[in-house]
Amino acid sequence: MSSNTAPKRQDFPADFRWGVSTSSFQIEGAGREDGKGESIWDRFCSEPGRIRDGSNALVACDHYHLFPQDLDMAKALGVNAYRFSIAWPRILPNGTAGRGAVNEAGLAFYDRLVDGMLERGLDPWATLYHWDLPQPLQEQGGWLSRDTVGAFLEYTDIVTRRLGDRVKHWITHNEPWCSCMMGYWEGVHAPGGKSLADAMQACHHVLLSHGQAIPLIRKNSAGAQVGITLSLHPITAASDSAEDAAALKRHDGLRNRWFLDPLFGRGYPEDTLALLASSGNAAPKVEAGDLAAIATATDFLGVNYYFPEMVKADPAGGPMRASLVEREGVERTGFGWEISPQGLVDLLTRIQRDYNPAVIQLTENGSTFEDVLTPDGHVHDAERLSYLQRHLSAVKQALDAGVPVKGYFAWSLLDNFEWAEGYLRRFGIAYVDYATQQRTLKDSGLWYGQFLNE
């Protein structure tokens, strides 16, 4: 199959998992309803200048109320799995059960949502943490505090005891790189921190909370498959100079190996640790037993793939001394992200070669472009359609090369609140008119439906 021909569902194994992916904060809305507490993202949105269009997610796609029609749409598409996340502040408005009762209305919402999936033949894939930490925990230090690990375990226990009979696929964390590095170092995501050392400590606590949660999830959800989702990037060097090769190694250390190595039982990469130690003592504090916990066996590795990166040496640059190169003459999404289906093949084969996970689930992949809803109710998103087709062909290529990828989840079912970009970036295969909350399947969504129903 050439990458120019549209892929066919029959080209994939019969038991391949087909899904769509969403997250609580980005779609639910109902930000102040039924006892939901404030999250760090609610707080971040309320700070001037944080969100490009000055918006917030108090209403978003109003999925909290409209979820039956969203699940109907997913069912009509023909997917057999639905990835969603649970809003911690809906369950524990104060962050921990010790400082406030468990919010029954929050749990009841996820009962309805999960039951709605099961009634429609959609397998629920729940992410426990997709970045919406309860604000009261942030006031105690957020992920910088080791106590937040304990709070995450308490929350995990409550949620998995309640839903574990029906949800059999659990993802502990979504993209620790983003929640920690963008949130605590780059300052562009909540909580807006600007310290590399803080980011590394936050990352360590997030990974630790992942590892320690696994036995709890297994106890409360018999037979469950448990994993973590990472944002990973294939990275190349701008030239074959020794300096650029070193920059590549440094960047890959922080971006990819920092997460993969400890999860696969190798501890933190020595070269990255040494660089961190020499960058203002930024290596995290690690206690005895932490690395063993982080390496607790999982059932799958969740991979989110959006774009490849190219780096060159930058002696005057930031602490990790590699700078990103904007390749010329390549296709880009509306975000400026390079479009590279081959990058997905390279990434998947690299993960298999270097880490050999038993199962990889592609838990997110998608693109944003300027979408236009035509007066006759269409969104002709030819570029997103092509992106989707070519990335599915890339998945097939990786499968043929022997990579154990078992599922693909399109990001996202709906246009939604795209973090610091607010509503300026549409990633949905369905268009959302935020004024009316009307959903319209775009051409890409219509094609995905045809592909799935062939």
Please identify which of the residues 28, 38, 175, 309 carries the catalytic annotation.
175
Q: Which of 80, 156, 160, 174 binds ligand FCB (CB under 6 A)?
A: 174
CA distance 232 to 235: 9
Contact 164, 156 (CB under 8 A): no
CB of 337 to ligand FCB, least distance (A): 9
Q: Which two tokens stand for residue 107?
A: 């749990």
Please identify which of the residues 28, 38, 309, 364 carries the catalytic annotation.
364
CA distance 166 to 114: 7
Residues 252, 256, 258, 262, CA torsion sign? negative
Contact 415, 431 (CB under 8 A): yes
Q: Which of 212, 298, 304, 365 binds ligand FCB (CB under 6 A)?
A: 304
CA distance 434 to 62: 9
Residue number, 95 or 302, with CB nearest to ligand FCB: 302
CB of 304 to ligand FCB, least distance (A): 6
Residue number, 109 or 129, with CB nearest to ligand FCB: 129
CA distance 26 to 71: 16
CA distance 298 to 225: 8
CA distance 138 to 114: 29
Q: Which of 110, 264, 419, 447 binds ligand FCB (CB under 6 A)?
A: 419
Number of residues that bind ligand FCB (CB under 6 A): 12
CB of 177 to ligand FCB, least distance (A): 9
Told to judge if 175 belongs to the known catalytic residues of this protein, a careful annotator would answer: yes
Question: Applying CB under 6 A, does 231 fall inside the site for ligand FCB?
Answer: yes
Site for ligand FCB in 331-370 (CB under 6 A): 364
User: Peptide bond before 191: cis, by omega within 30 degrees of 0?
Assistant: yes
* Segment interacting with ligand FCB, rule: CB under 6 A, options 86-94, 104-112, 171-179, 213-221: 171-179
Told to judge if 364 belongs to the known catalytic residues of this protein, a careful annotator would answer: yes
Residue number, 174 or 352, with CB nearest to ligand FCB: 174
Contact 441, 413 (CB under 8 A): no
Site for ligand FCB in 72-131 (CB under 6 A): none
Which residues lie closer than 8 Å to 87 by C-beta, 6 or more apart? 24, 25, 28, 36, 39, 106, 132
Question: Euclidean distance between the first and final Cα of the chain, in Å?
Answer: 17
Question: Applying CB under 6 A, does 23 fall inside the site for ligand FCB?
Answer: yes
CB of 166 to ligand FCB, least distance (A): 24
Question: Applying CB under 6 A, does 256 fall inside the site for ligand FCB?
Answer: no
Structure letter (DSSP) for residue 285: P
CB of 418 to ligand FCB, least distance (A): 6
CB of 363 to ligand FCB, least distance (A): 9
Q: Residue 301: beta bridge partners?
A: 228, 360
Q: Binding residues for ligand FCB, per CB under 6 A?
A: 23, 26, 174-175, 178, 231, 304, 364, 411, 418-419, 427
Which residues are designated catalytic?
Answer: 175, 364
